[in-house]
Amino acid sequence: MPQDIKEARRACSIRSMSVASNNASLTRIGALNRKASPLALQSVRSDLRNSAVYSSFWSTRFQQLSLPYDKKLRESFQAHVLEFDSQLPQWVDAFEQERLNGDGKVNMETFARKRGMIGRQAWCDMALWILAHRMDYMFDFLRATNKPIYPPINWVEDVLTLMARHYDSVEDGSRHSWLRTLATTFFELVPRETNEQWIFRQDFVKHVVPHFSQSQMGDLFQMVKTEKVKLTPNTLLHVADSFAKRDMLERALSMLLEAKEAGARVNGIPFRSLCSTILRRSSAQSGGLRICLRLIEHLAAMGVKLNLTLCNIVMLNAVEAGDIETADSVHRSAIEQGLGMDVYTCAIRLKACKLDIPNAERLKQTIEEAIAVGDIRTNEIVATEVLHCLTLQSLTAPDGWQNAFGKIATACVELFDIEPMKRLGLDMPEPPPNPSATPRLAPTRHVFTYLLLALLRRGATTEKAIELYQRWRQLVEAGDPPLAACATTAHVSNVFLRRFVRRRDTLLQAAQVVKDMQKPLPATAAGVAGVTQAPPNIYTWSIFLHGFASHGQTKLAEQVLTYMRERGIEPNEVTWTSLVGGYARTQDTNGLLDALRRMQADGAVFNDWTQGSLRRFRDRDRLRQILDEQRLQRSLDFTVDLKEGLGVRLGGDDGVPPADEVDDAVRVADDDAEAEGSRVGGI
């Protein structure tokens, strides 16, 4: 390019930069190629942003660099190669040399004068070239030029935003590291001596803020409150969301109020969505339900109108806190206000029934409500919850386990397709005519867990149990979709295992179950939606160990303990309690003493379940002496809370009881099955 043409272009560029004015010169903050609401449009220059400059040259070139990151254009976008001054690579190299030779800073005015330009002009050209060719070097460039005379603040904002969009799209595993570096750079750039105000939109914040450290989140909060950093309403909602997800609820609520004052619509979807997040996260706090109810008061004071989603969250929090009365009160209030019910309401109400499972009237009313809301045969979550509640109620009814399978099976044929059950060999009632044109749901692994649990506990002979297990494994290996899916977790295997360890003559069959869980499935099964065999988990090994210990075969129980540890699985309270119970059963004083020592050394809780297993040891004086020697007596905790808490853990995954006499009627419903079967949408 001839020198006169080059200088003319530079002069034109400088003139365009000087046209900025408070009233006439508007630019879009962040990505310049997107439509923005009036709130997102800001004057480029103001008393709080003295270095801000409008440049059509910068805007046009920067917009072209931004286009590849526009998701709306990405599929059809064809890259346009920008042309740059051929000297720019040498200038960047010279800049880097000067940075390394100095204190890490470069006087841009001096650097530019050596090349016949002004500092702002050189910064513009070099920044655009670095964005196009050496993005990773931009961190050093921004830090080195962060000194008086500062580069235009709006250009730096643009650069940071583009870097956020770029590094968020990195797919080589370094994404988090780059965004953390960008976060650190942001906090280095903000404190200018000119005390200027920074303005960012969500294109920057939504990508970078999730990677802030806790202390950086606190710094950002102060910057927003002191207006050092100004954010648009929707961007404030992103910040509030990050605070909420870090359980910093007071600051999340404060940012929510900032967003409202900045013009966010309090009853718009983004605002309500954030309210939902804050309310749900409150349940994890100490005194969560009280905090949740207080948050509702604050939201109402902001003008947020309670809708069914927010009511559902409050009900769910109340149920999880064990406060059925509050949950019922919120439900009645929602009905009175005409908010009605949806499938999530039904699922939460059914979850509440589990806290009061003997109350048949409550369950009956809740199921009727679910039917009234819609055809529960079309909703897997609600249908599974109904079946789970009926299972728990059947197992705790006065007639107990004897009639449990019949009751559960009768409900099952109403809700689910029973053909997979027939293929397995379960004796199911004939289903009534389907009143809906929609086919019945395919049974999930939870459905099979409930049916087999009831049947194998009391309603099946040993021969029938073995036949069912062998048939199930055949169907799994053949890739039968519903039944093969049951092998992807340990639940169904553990139900069979629990049945086989009850009798000495089926311990070999129990060993076969554990062996099958450690074998990879054939290609016929692996090809079904990626089905893979779930390996034995802590509950599998605990059941297996308990089987040997309960039959007095403590040496084999010790072998199981060794084997599971070799597989990287450490024993829990259930495992140790079973082992202690085995030694107590065989009146093995030395073995009992050694097991108690190891249990204590392992940090396992010595609790009333352990105490119950020790009752089998007949020499009470010797037992008392053992406990005194081990100083375990002082750690005994017989409080109701501990007993109930341990009861939940014992039934946590597969309902493993510590000893035969423990009635696991309710605990056998595994925690994982409950969690997955009762998940409530996105709440």
Which tens digit of pLDDT belongs to each residue from 535-562? Answer: 999 999 999 999 999 999 999 999 999 9
* Chain segment 454-477, per-residue pLDDT in tens: 999 877 899 999 999 999 999 999
What mean pLDDT is predicted for residues 213-232?
95
Question: What are the structure tokens assigned to 6, written together?
Answer: 């080059």
Backbone angles phi, psi at 573, to 5 degrees: -60, -35
Task: Judge whether 670 lies within some domain.
Answer: no
Q: What is the pLDDT of residue 131?
A: 95
Domain boundary among 176, 200, 228: 228
User: Which residues is 420 bridged to in the sheet?
Assistant: none
Please choose, from the candidates 447, 460, 493, the residue with its C-alpha nearest in 3D space to the C-alpha of residue 653. Answer: 493
Residue 57 near residue 124 (C-beta atoms within 8 A): yes
Task: Give tens-digit pLDDT for 488-518.
Answer: 999 999 999 999 999 999 999 999 999 999 9
Considering the domain boundaries, does residue 249 fall inside one? no
Identify the domain containing residue 142 by its residue range.
54-70+82-228
Instruction: Round to whole Å and give the CA distance between 499 and 668.
Output: 12
Residue 375 placed within a domain: no
Q: What is residue 247's predicted lDDT score, i.e. its pLDDT?
A: 93
Residue 507 lies in a domain: no
| pLDDT one-digit tens code per residue, 287-307 | 999 999 999 999 999 999 999
Percent of the chain with pLDDT over 90: 61
Decide if pLDDT at 1 tops 50. Answer: no
Inside any domain, residue 382: no
Mean pLDDT score, 580-599: 90
Q: Is residue 349 part of a domain?
A: no
Domain boundary among 228, 244, 279: 228
Banded pLDDT at 373 (limits 50, 70, 90) = confident
Has residue 629 been placed in a domain?
A: yes
| Counted domains in the chain | 2
CB burial string 283-319: b at 16+ within 10 A, e below? beeeebbebbbebbeebeebebebebbbbbbbbbbbb
Q: Report if residue 140 sits inside a domain.
A: yes
What is the predicted pLDDT for the residue at 36? 37
Which among 210, 213, 211, 190 is positioned nearest to 200, based on CA atoms?
Answer: 190
Question: Looking at the predicted structure, is the pLDDT value of residue 5 above 50?
Answer: no
Helix (H) or strand (E) holding 229: strand 229-231
Domain boundary (176, 201, 228) is at: 228
User: What average pLDDT does the chain have?
Assistant: 83
Gap between the Cα atoms of 369 and 531, Å rounded: 36
Comparing 606 with 649, the larger pLDDT belongs to 606
